[in-house]
Structure 1
Amino acid sequence: MATMVDVARRAGVSIATVSHVLNATRPVAPRTRQAVLDAIDELDYTPNTLARSLVTSRTRSIGLAVSAISNPYFTEILQGVEARALEHGYGLLIADPHDDPEHERTVVQLLHERRVDGMIIAPSATPDALLHYLGQHDVPTVFLDRLVDPPAEGGFRHDQVCAENTGPMASLVAHLAERGHRSIGLVAGLPGLSTTTERTTGYRHGLARAGLPYEERLVAHGDSRAGTAEGAAHRLLSLGAPPSALVTANNAMTIGVLRALRERGLSVPDDLALCCFDDFSWGDLFSPRLTVIAQPSKEIGARAVRMLLERLASPHLESRTVRLPSAFVHRTSCGCPENHVRPESPEAPRKGPES
């Protein structure tokens, strides 16, 4: 079986250089790096990860706790996490907390017991037990998508990354108002999540911007799930004066709302206009095509990895919260004709350095 010494001899470099290539611990000249990679391939060398972890106290693994199975939005985030982690030589251990606080605490403990170097977590609506465990064991952690309030006693050293929510949601509501809608309903997410709070706030800001009153009866909670959102849509549409337009606060709930509309034989946008928070990879294949706020999902995942690696390198950094811009994707479910082009939204992300 080939060893690191054999790889170094074949590539004509030092053992330290081979280690830097394998562990991404120091920049290596492209030609030298390629020579090492070629030697690894020729010798069929497999690093002994277990032995390395015993020496370095690092396993080069990241624990990822997101509801990727039950929430399709997190699938793209997972792709961003995986791509950036692999780029830096890290593997992933993945668990689905199902947005259940008790299960969340359990899966995070299981990941920690498998000696991951750090964790990336999309926290539940009530993460108290989670925060206690992470603080008790001093686990390097980045929260993504949903923000967590630091505990009153301080000592919060976790980083956070999410998309902008309030302004983009306000722009959806204001756009519907510009289309002449005076009664705009909201299918809101799970209470307690920061995304739900911020998007509901954005809904109210959009109404205020258009000079429309906020009416509690026009807000129904879909709890961030398709099935619950379907029932919420039926309740809104059963009002004596139902809304002429709906905004959904995530893509799972959009599916539920579309089911409810189909069951009632209603057509979008002829009978009811619809705008959605969260895009789908196939959102423009609907008829009509969905007008949405698109979050930078893969970028959120990639940035979470970057922040975690920075935290591992410098454990005493001040905690950081990063917000990435979302984009208004203008299609036709809002009632605009296909050939209508909306100017770029101020929330739209612009090209810049890779996260």
Structure 2
Amino acid sequence: MADVARRAGVSTATVSHVLNNTRAVSDDTRAAVLAAVEETAYTPNTVARSLATSRTTTLGLVLSAISNPYFGELLSAAERAAAAAGYTLLLVDPHEDPGYERTVVARLHHHRVDGVVLAPSAHPEAALEYLARHAVPTVLLDRLLSGGLAARLDQVGSENSQATATLTRHLVEAHGHRRIALVAGLAGLATTDERRAGFVAALGAAGLPRDPALEVSGESATEPARAAMAGLLALPEPPTAVVVGNNSMTIGVIAALRDAGAKVPDDVAVVAFDDFAWADLFAPRLTVMAQPFAQIASEAVRLLLRRRDQADAPVEVLRLPPSFVVRESCGCAAAP
């Protein structure tokens, strides 16, 4: 930096202000500094800077199942939000393994990230205990928890119960379905429990009995959901409609219906949680609850940076409403 300052004829403080946009400088001064940076091939030493400031301008994102189209969108939005705040995102995938989840949050801490955004596994106790013990600023993402260590953490995700009830109620009230199945996500996940609760509540409100044979697990993945849907179709009295818990499972459900030669929605109506870029390319197009992933990601980054700067700030838990996108897979007429 001293070499750049000498070549540009300015102080090292001015070089810092130009490179970090921390103070306004004249156009001529900025041009001189940037030219000197180019000539000297100077790059800031972020390791040295982190030793001086105790900050690395990096954030950790712990996210399982990144092959899920929803999580891919969430990752992209989180990276954009972090970059806009001047941060680099370090991504790790714990593969829904609680033991490995604790390992990867420790690794992020060893890299001295300024905070961690965590989409918790079904049993995140070890990871949460590590983050709390080391006072790592943490925000829970998507899978919101209650009680225990989670009660002290900022959290942001979608509202799940009422949204799933709306999907189920639409099948009953708009299309008269009485035998409705649920392909639920991985057992133990907060989102799985909340969406199942919404499904059950909607059945009860409609006066429909709960049939355990119609509630199956697709394990939040495509192939298990395909097998689960095939099992539903093999029942003596198959469902006439199905609610699917996420978009990876929706792909499996649609594949199973096509394998069986069942037409959507004539034979089986389909509604699902999560929208994705090609949901309206299916034939028929999919009726879904679309999660506001960009807003979820930007709020997670905002909460994390606030927690880093204000350790004693009040805890915030944000549940953002999804949007009900009606297309044709439920039986509604095609929109123009």
Please confirm whether the aligned pair reaches a TM-score higher than 0.5, indicating the same fold: yes
Alignment match, 2:135: 138
1:258, distance to aligned residue in structure 2 (A): 1.2
**In structure 2, C-alpha distance between the alignment counterparts of 1:101 and 1:6, rounded to whole Å:** 53
**In structure 1, C-alpha distance between the alignment counterparts of 2:18 and 2:314, rounded to whole Å:** 33
Amino acid at match of 2:210: Y
Within the candidate set 135, 155, 165, 1:160 is matched to 155
**Closer/same/farther in 2, CA of residues 132 and 3 from structure 1, 3 Å limit:** farther
Q: What is the DSSP-based 3-state SS (H/G/I as helix, E as strand, rest coil) of the residue aligned with 1:265?
A: coil
Q: What is the DSSP-based 3-state SS (H/G/I as helix, E as strand, rest coil) of the residue aligned with 2:47?
A: helix
What does 1:284-295 align with in structure 2 at a 5 Å threshold?
Answer: 284-295=280-291
What does 1:42-81 align with in structure 2 at a 5 Å threshold?
Answer: 42=35, 43-44=37-38, 45-81=42-78
Note if contact 1:63-1:119 (Cα within 8 Å) is conserved in structure 2: yes
What does 1:120-131 align with in structure 2 at a 5 Å threshold?
Answer: 120-131=117-128
**Closer/same/farther in 2, CA of residues 21 and 233 from structure 1, 3 Å limit:** same
**In structure 2, C-alpha distance between the alignment counterparts of 1:34 and 1:119, rounded to whole Å:** 38
Deviation string 1:156-211 (CA, Å, 9 cap, x unpaired) is 53211001111111111111112111111000111111101110111112223333
**Closer/same/farther in 2, CA of residues 35 and 318 from structure 1, 3 Å limit:** farther
**In structure 2, C-alpha distance between the alignment counterparts of 1:33 and 1:207, rounded to whole Å:** 66
> Over aligned residues, Cα RMSD in angstroms?
2.5
**In structure 2, C-alpha distance between the alignment counterparts of 1:7 and 1:79, rounded to whole Å:** 39
Number of residue pairs matched? 331
**Closer/same/farther in 2, CA of residues 236 and 56 from structure 1, 3 Å limit:** same
Note if contact 1:276-1:291 (Cα within 8 Å) is conserved in structure 2: yes
Within the candidate set 159, 171, 174, 1:176 is matched to 171
Note if contact 1:122-1:146 (Cα within 8 Å) is conserved in structure 2: yes
Deviation string 1:235-281 (CA, Å, 9 cap, x unpaired) is 21111111100010000110111121111111111111000100111
**In structure 1, C-alpha distance between the alignment counterparts of 2:265 and 2:335, rounded to whole Å:** 15
What does 1:332-351 align with in structure 2 at a 5 Å threshold?
Answer: 332-339=328-335
**In structure 2, C-alpha distance between the alignment counterparts of 1:250 and 1:34, rounded to whole Å:** 51
Amino acid at match of 1:157: R
**In structure 2, C-alpha distance between the alignment counterparts of 1:97 and 1:323, rounded to whole Å:** 24
Alignment match, 2:310: 314
Alignment match, 1:269: 265
Amino acid at match of 1:303: E
Note if contact 1:21-1:33 (Cα within 8 Å) is conserved in structure 2: no
1:72, distance to aligned residue in structure 2 (A): 2.5
**Closer/same/farther in 2, CA of residues 230 and 34 from structure 1, 3 Å limit:** farther
Query: Is 1:234–2:230 an aligned residue pair?
Result: yes
Query: Is 1:100–2:97 an aligned residue pair?
Result: yes
Amino acid at match of 2:262: L
Q: What is the DSSP-based 3-state SS (H/G/I as helix, E as strand, rest coil) of the residue aligned with 1:167?
A: helix
Alignment match, 1:323: 319
Alignment match, 1:225: 221
Q: What is the DSSP-based 3-state SS (H/G/I as helix, E as strand, rest coil) of the residue aligned with 1:161?
A: strand
Amino acid at match of 1:89: G
Alignment match, 1:21: 21
Query: Is 1:305–2:287 an aligned residue pair?
Result: no
5+ unaligned residues in a row in structure 1: which ranges?
23-27, 341-355
Give percent identity, aligned residues only: 50
Q: What is the DSSP-based 3-state SS (H/G/I as helix, E as strand, rest coil) of the residue aligned with 1:338?
A: coil
What is the TM-score of this pair, normalised by structure 2? 0.91
What is the TM-score of this pair, normalised by structure 1? 0.86
**Closer/same/farther in 2, CA of residues 62 and 39 from structure 1, 3 Å limit:** farther
**In structure 1, C-alpha distance between the alignment counterparts of 2:225 and 2:264, rounded to whole Å:** 17
Amino acid at match of 1:314: Q
**In structure 2, C-alpha distance between the alignment counterparts of 1:146 and 1:5, rounded to whole Å:** 49
Moved more, 97-106 or 208-217: 208-217
Amino acid at match of 1:199: R
Deviation string 1:89-133 (CA, Å, 9 cap, x unpaired) is 111111111111111111111111111111011110011111111
**Closer/same/farther in 2, CA of residues 77 and 4 from structure 1, 3 Å limit:** farther
